Amino acid sequence: MKKALKNPGVQAFVASVICIILGLLIGYIVLLFINPEGAAESIINVIKNFFTWSRANKKLQQFGNTLSKTMPLLMCSLSILFAYKVGLFNIGAAGQYVAGSCACLYAALAWGWGWLPCMIFAIVAGAVLGAVVGMLKSYCNVNEVISGIMLNWISLYLTNTLLTKVKEVASPYTMYIKDVNPSALLPNAGLDKLFNGNKYITIAVPLALFIAIAVSIILNRTKLGYELKATGSNKNAAKYAGMAEKRNIVLTLVIAGGLAGLGAAMLYLTGYMRWECTQSSVPGMGFNGIAAAFLGGLNPIGAIFASFFIQHITDGGQYVNTNFYSSQISDLISSVIIYLCGFVLFIKLTMTGMINRSEEKKLQKIKAASSEGGDR
Amino acid sequence: MEPYAIEMLHITKRFPGIVANDDITLQLKKGEIHALLGENGAGKSTLMSVLFGLYQPEEGIIKKDGAEVKINDPNDANALGIGMVHQHFKLVECFTVLDNIIMGVEPCKMGFLQKKEAREKVLALSEKYGLKVDPDAKIEDITVGMQQRTEILKMLYRDNEILIFDEPTAVLTPQEISELMQIMKSLAAEGKSILFISHKLNEIMEVADRCSVLRKGKYIGTVNTKDTTIEELSAMMVGRNVNFHVEKKPATPGDVVLSIENMTVASKVHKNNAVKNVSLKVRAGEIVCIAGIDGNGQSEFVYGLSGLEPLVSGKITLCGKDMTASSIRQKSILGISHIPEDRHKHGLVLDYSLEDNLVLQTYFEPQFTSKWGFLLRKNIREYAEKLIDQYDVRSGQGPATTARSMSGGNQQKAIIAREIDKAPELLIAVQPTRGLDVGAIEYIHKQLVAQRDAGKAVLLVSLELDEVMDVPDRILVMYEGEIVGELDPKKTTQEELGLYMAGAKRDEVTV
C-alpha cells in the first residue's frame, strides 16, 4: 500500500479524492450553519445529481445534459494545463472562451454559416486572443496573468456589444440557432439515441475526448511537446539549445486559446445555452477549467474525469432543496467544492512528506531492533 | 582535554539506493579552522544537512561541548550557535546590508524596529573582525566579496560560535580570497570554530589547522595540514594519485576554423559595450584560451559568438562561411559546440531526464524524431546509454534520472559528452571545470586536449590561473572588453599573466 502511494499517478489520484471529500464536507458544514434541517438531504442530492431522478430514461437524459456541458469545461481545462506544462498560467482561458462564444454565435446567427466553419471560427478567435497574450509575454515581457485578465474583460464587453445584433428583441438572450440557422447545430451522429433522445449530445463528446488524448500525446511523445516543455522549464536552456523560445511561448498560447475557443463552440453550437448580452461577469467556464486541470493532476486524461466531476456537482446544485435554502446556494456549494479542488498539489506535497517521514521512522526502528539483537 | 565544540560521531545517512554518509565522524575543536575536503558527491552537503537538522541520520549522534544534542530542524541548529555561509548567498537583493543582517532577529520594541541598536552592534562587529561593509548599501549594488562579508556578519550578529563556510572562495577574486583568509584566521583567534568546506587544496593548506577527508560517502581520515602535502590530500580525496599537469604533445595548428573580426557586444548591465572591437582567430588543432578576471567581458564575448546575445557590430566566420547572422540552431548544425558557463541556467533542463538532456540540441534530427514529429524514444534511450557508457556519466537511474538529482560533476560530464559527441569543428568551453573536484577536472582537461589532437579548434574561456597556464597552446588576455595581450603559456609566468589581467600591461595585438 505504501509502495503504491509512492507512485506519482496513484498519489495524484488519492490527493484528488481527498480534495473532493474535504470539499463535500465543508459544503455540508456550510449548509448545516444556514439551516440544519435540509442539509443532509441537500448535500446528498448534490452528489447524486441526475441520480435524483427515479425514472431510468429521465436519469439518462439528465446525465446527457451534464455530459454535454462537461466537454466545454474539459476544453478549458486542457487549455490551462497545456499552457501550464509550458510554464504559463493561462488565466486568459476565460476570455478566449468568451471570444470563441462570440465568434461561433455571430457566424451562426448573423452570417448563417454551417457548424464546421462556425467551430473553426471559434477556434481562430480563441487562438487570436491567445496570440495577443503570447506576443505581449514574449516580446514585451508582459505577465500573461495580467494581460490575460484584462483581455477577459475586453472580450466580454466586446462580445456583449457584438451579439446584441443577433439577440431576441424582447430578451437579453441571443436568438435560437435551431430557429434561425439549424445547419449551425452540431450533428448528433446518432449519439442522442444513447441518451434517451437528448439532442444536446453531439459529436462534441467524442471530439473532446479525442482532443484530450491528442493533447496527452503531443505533450509526451512529440518533438513539439519536448520543445514546449523545455521552454517552460528553462527558457535560457531552450534558447541555448537553439529552440525558438519566443515563438514557442506564442505558439503555446495560440494552441491554448484555440482549445478554449473550441470549448465555447462545443457548448453554444449544441443549442443548450444562449448568450445573455447583458451579463457583467466573465463566464465561469474558463476559471472552473483551472480547478479541473489541477483536480485532474495536470494530466489530460485525468482532466476528463475531473471536468465531469466538477460539472456533475455544478449541475447537482440545482437539486438542493429550495424550501430550506435560497436558490443561489447551489452555486455556493459547488464553488466551495471547486475551490477545495485547487488544493490538490498542496495535499500531494503533504502526502509525500508524511510518507517519507513515516518510512524514516520505520527504518530507524528496524535499525534499533537489529542493533539490539546484535548485542546479545 | 577541552571538549570538542561540535562532534558528529558515526553518522550514517541512507537514501534510496545510496549511502550518502557511511559512518562518518567529524570533530571540530574550539578555535580551530577545520577543512572538510571531498569530491562532488562525497557526502559533504549531506553531512552539513544532518548538522542543520534538514536530514535525520539513521545512525550516529551529534555532541556539542561534550553533551549529546538533538537537532530536528535549522532552528535547533541556530539555537546551538551553528551558522553557515552558503555557496549561493541567501540575501534579499533589494534590502540593505543592515536589513539583511538583522532579518529574522530584528530588535523590536512594541512592534517597532530598533535599527539604531542593531546598527551599533553591526558596526562594532565589523570593526572587531575587519569585515568592511557599508550597512546602508543595497545588496544588489555591492560586490560579491562584500555580500559574503554580509553573510559572515549575519552569523556573528546571531552570536554563532560554529561557523560553516561552504566553498566560500568559488566566487571571489584573488584579492578577495586573501582577505577572506585573513578574516577566517582572526575569527578563529577570537575563539570561533570554523568548518571550511572546499576542494581547493592550496587554500586548505594555507588556512586550515586540520583537514577531514570524505570519499564516496566514507570517512577517509583527518590530518594536520602541517604534516601533509597537497599531493597526499588529493590522493586521499580521489583515492589515487592525480596528475596536476596536463600532458600533451606540441600543437600542430592547421587551417583557421574560427575568425572573428571587430566584434562588439553591448553590456546588459551598463550603457557601454562589454566587448569592444575584438578580433581573433582559432585554428584547427589548437587550444586558445581567453583569460581574464571575471567580469571583463568574457561572458558577453561568448554570448555574442554563440548567438545568445545580438552583436552591435563585427563579423564571425566559421570554416570560411560567414555566420554573423546565423541563428543559434544554424551555428550548432554547422559545427559549433558550446559548453556553457552556467550549466543550470543554460546547459541543462534540470527537470528533464538525463537522456532528454543529452539530445537537447539534436532532438530534431531524423535519428531522434520521426517524419511525423514523434520522438523516437528507443533511439534516444540507446544513444543516451552509449554516451553515458562512453563518458562515464554516473547517476541513480541511468538515462531516466532527473538531471536535477545528479551531482554537479556528472551534470558537467553529461554536457561535455553531448557537446563533444556532436563532432564540432569548434568547441567553445567556458569555465568547464568550475566547481568541480580534481578528478573531474583532470578528466575534462584530457577531453579538451583529445579534441585538439583530433584536429578540432578549441576556444577555452577560463578564470582559473592553473587552467590558463596548463591547458591552452595560446593565451589571449581580455581586459575591459578588449584583448590586451597574446602570450605563450610555455614562455610566460603567472606573474606576467597577472599584470595583463589586471590591466597593468598591454600590447597592441594584431591577429
CA-nearest of B428, B269, B267 to B347 is B428
The pLDDT tens digits of the residues spanning A223-271 come to 999 999 999 889 899 999 999 989 999 999 999 999 999 999 999 999 9
Question: Does the predicted model carry a pTM greater than 0.80?
Answer: no
Give the single-character DSSP code of B291.
E
Any CB–CB contact under 8 A between B363 and chain A? yes
- Residues in chain B where the model's pLDDT stays below 50: none
Examine the pLDDT at A327 and tell me if it is beyond 70: no
Spatial distance between the Cα atoms of B458 and B257, rounded to a whole number of angstroms:
10
The pLDDT of residue B406: 85
Question: What is the rounded average pLDDT of the residues A310-339?
Answer: 78
**Residue A30: inside a domain:** yes
User: What value does the mean pLDDT of chain A take?
Assistant: 87
The distance from CA A323 to its chain's CA centroid, rounded to whole angstroms, is 31
- The total number of residues written for chain A in this structure: 376
Q: Are B332 and A234 within 8 A, CB to CB? A: no
For position A118, which CATH number holds?
1.10.3470
CATH label, B6-238, candidates 3.40.50.300, 3.90.1150.10, 3.30.70.20, 3.65.10.10: 3.40.50.300
R_g over Cα of chain A:
23
Which residue's C-alpha cell is 471547486? Answer: A338
Alpha carbon of A245: minimum distance to chain B alpha carbons (Å): 12
The pLDDT of residue A375: 43
| Structural domain span for residue A250 | 2-367
Q: Are A363 and B58 within 8 A, CB to CB? A: yes
B423 to each of A29, A226, B174, B257, B442, how far by Cα in Å?
67, 23, 36, 14, 21
Alpha carbon of A207: minimum distance to chain B alpha carbons (Å): 21
**Residue A374: inside a domain:** no
Examine the pLDDT at A3 and tell me if it is beyond 70: no
Residue A330's CB is within 10 A of a number of other CB atoms, namely 22
Q: Which CATH architecture has domain B245-335+424-511?
A: 3-Layer(aba) Sandwich (3.40)
Q: Judging by DSSP bridges, how do beta strands B82-85 and B162-166 pair with one another?
A: parallel
Q: Are A234 and B374 within 8 A, CB to CB? A: no
Any CB–CB contact under 8 A between A237 and chain B? yes
CA-nearest of A136, A78, A128 to A100 is A128
Band (A374; pLDDT cuts 50, 70, 90) = very low
Q: How many domains does chain A have?
A: 1
Which residue's C-alpha cell is 510554464? Answer: A87
Give the single-character DSSP code of A182.
G
List the 328-367 stretch of A: residues with Cβ below 8 A of B. 360, 363-364, 367
**Residue A288: inside a domain:** yes
Spatial distance between the Cα atoms of A211 and A231, rounded to a whole number of angstroms:
23
Q: Do domains B6-238 and B245-335+424-511 have the same CATH topology?
A: yes
B290 — phi, psi (to 5°)?
-95, 115
Domain range annotation of chain B: 6-238, 245-335+424-511, 345-423
Any CB–CB contact under 8 A between A205 and chain B? no
Q: Which DSSP helix (H) or strand (E) runs through B303?
A: helix B298-306
Give the single-character DSSP code of A166.
G
Alpha carbon of B49: minimum distance to chain A alpha carbons (Å): 16
Examine the pLDDT at A320 and tell me if it is beyond 50: yes
Band (A159; pLDDT cuts 50, 70, 90) = very high
Band (A376; pLDDT cuts 50, 70, 90) = very low
Any CB–CB contact under 8 A between B249 and chain A? no
**Residue A376: inside a domain:** no
A336 by Cβ neighbours in 10 Å (0-12 / 13-18 / 19+) ranks as buried
A264 to each of A147, B167, B234, B493, how far by Cα in Å?
21, 56, 67, 73
Examine the pLDDT at A214 and tell me if it is beyond 50: yes
